[in-house]
Amino acid sequence: MKINFNISNKKLNVKGFLIINYLITFVILYIIVQLSYKSSTFILENFIFNNEKITVTSIASYYNKDFDKIELGFLSEMGAWEEVLDENKNVIYIKGDKKDNTMHYNEKQLFELTSSKEYSPENPYVGQVYPVEGKNGEQYLFLYKIDKRKVEHSFIYKPNFSSKSDGILSLKAYGTLYFIQVVFLLVGIYIYSVISSKFITTPLKTFVTSIKNFKKLDYGTRANLKGLKELQQVENEFNKMVIKLEKVKEENKRIDKSKKRLLVDISHDLKTPITSIQGFSKLLLEESITSEEREKFLKIIYNKSVYSAVLIEDLFSLSKLEDSEYRLSKVELDFSEWLRRLIIEYYEEFKNKHFNLEINISDYPIIFEFDEKLMKRALSNIFNNALSHNKNYTNFKIESYQKENNVILKIGSDEVIIDKSINETIFDPFVKSENSTSNGSGLGLAITKKIIEKHDGTIKLAASNFEGILFVISLPVKI
């Protein structure tokens, strides 16, 4: 039969477990002592001493009117003997090995025999005296005598181990008691170890198995420790660690994949302008071209070199931001006022494209630390994308406010619709819409996302019924 201890929902800590452990140990020891005492007594009485009990009635029951049939019983093993006295208190019959020379008793001797005085050479024996009848109704006295050093007043047997008979008797009595105690103790320890293992040993074995599986890079491993509160805390921390490492593994896979794609995209994006520069440079070396063609070719070469320089610069910026050792140069500024100044810098460009601006910036100061240069780069990328991809007379919205411990910035327009195919990857490097006519590097939004994340913030593309595209930025305001 398998015992199932369901303690997964119990919040028992080590301290509580130890208290319970001590209490259970005490109860088990108490039960063992009681059981061993009862069991040994039962065995001694029924199998060793043959149900002979040394009591007032049992000693008297040893007497028999036929003197030859008097039984010493257990008393003989203790070194005692029995005597029968006539009405004059003379010894007329002896059963056992008589160890004194008294053949006649007086009242004082009989009284001292039953007294509780300590052992002395003058008074070495103790016993009991009972009036009995003979075959023809004669009045006799039946008594037994034993060495006082072997018994206490309560008649507790104290064997003399130098005596062979006493040694055998004590071996039977104490040996039986100790043997039974050891048996019960072993059984109790086994039962309790089975119970306690459900709290400690079994969970630890399960945890070791989980660790071994994890060593094999099995990131699906989860510890399932049913036991003490501290073990459940270990389980939670272990599972959190595994989940985190699993995410790191997946992130590393994604980064490796992104790096491979990045190398392909870089090669492609650099190959096109370099090929153009090489081709038109070769044409310039030919003498048959006109001055107008020369000017045209030089302009193309210049534009392609500018594009290449921008691409390389953006790659350099993205690489720096991905470096975990990169540190921001934060200053404490009023974000609301800073945002107004940035919008003013772009005001002429918005005006030239006849944007209908809807600006709603919090009137209350929102002061926190941020890297002014990088934050300008992040928002400028969004503004430049809006200017490049939106038509004239576009409704353009900029909203900023504080919500709890975060500043929320929303930037959107109702003109451009992002392709569904790139909704999930719009912040990845070199991601462009298939309908895009921009000559940008395709790294702007990737750089923007890295800058926001460096500030412990988030940026996402939100769905809206009004805006064709809406960026929502959340930055923590650490007060």
The whole-number pLDDT of residue 165 equals: 64
Residue whose structure tokens are 């003013």: 344
* Tokens describing residue 185: 């103790």
Alpha carbons 347 and 354: distance in angstroms, whole number: 10
Q: How far is CA 167 from the centre of its chain?
A: 57
| Residue 340 vs residues 337, 399, 455: alpha-carbon distances, Å | 5, 11, 20
* Tokens describing residue 71: 């039984």
Of all helices (H) and strands (E), which one includes residue 145? strand 139-147
Alpha carbons 199 and 14: distance in angstroms, whole number: 10
- The upper half-sphere exposure of residue 63, i.e. CA atoms within 13 Å in the direction of its Cβ, equals 22
| Residue 191 vs residues 165, 356, 464: alpha-carbon distances, Å | 39, 83, 67
Contact present, 369 and 478 (Cβ < 8 Å): yes
Span 414-461, pLDDT tens digits: 865 566 556 667 777 766 655 555 555 677 788 888 889 989 999 988
Beta bridge partners of 361: 400
Contact present, 327 and 369 (Cβ < 8 Å): no
What does the DSSP 8-state code read for residue 120? Answer: B
The whole-number pLDDT of residue 339 equals: 93
Coil, helix or strand at residue 104: strand
Terminus-to-terminus CA distance in the chain, angstroms?
61
Q: What are phi and psi of 349, to 5 degrees?
A: -65, -40
* Residue 22 falls in which region: left (phi positive, over 0), alpha (psi -120 to 50) or beta: alpha
Alpha carbons 368 and 457: distance in angstroms, whole number: 13
Contact present, 394 and 402 (Cβ < 8 Å): no
Contact present, 446 and 427 (Cβ < 8 Å): yes
Strands 406-413 and 367-371: unpaired
pLDDT tens digits, the chain, 479 residues: what are they?
Answer: 444 444 444 566 666 666 777 777 777 777 777 777 777 777 766 666 655 555 545 677 788 999 988 887 777 778 899 999 999 999 999 999 999 999 999 998 898 888 878 888 888 999 889 999 998 989 999 998 998 888 765 555 555 656 666 667 677 767 777 787 788 778 877 777 777 766 666 677 777 777 777 776 776 677 666 666 666 777 777 778 877 887 877 777 777 776 676 667 667 667 777 888 888 888 788 767 788 888 888 888 888 888 778 777 777 777 777 777 778 888 999 999 999 999 999 999 999 999 999 999 988 899 999 999 889 888 988 898 888 888 888 889 999 999 888 999 999 888 655 665 566 677 777 666 555 555 556 777 888 888 899 899 999 888 655 557 888 999 998 75
* Residue 200 falls in which region: left (phi positive, over 0), alpha (psi -120 to 50) or beta: alpha
Coil, helix or strand at residue 425: coil
What does the DSSP 8-state code read for residue 149? Answer: G
- The upper half-sphere exposure of residue 233, i.e. CA atoms within 13 Å in the direction of its Cβ, equals 7
Q: Which amino acid, one-letter code, is at 438?
A: S
Residue whose structure tokens are 């005597």: 83
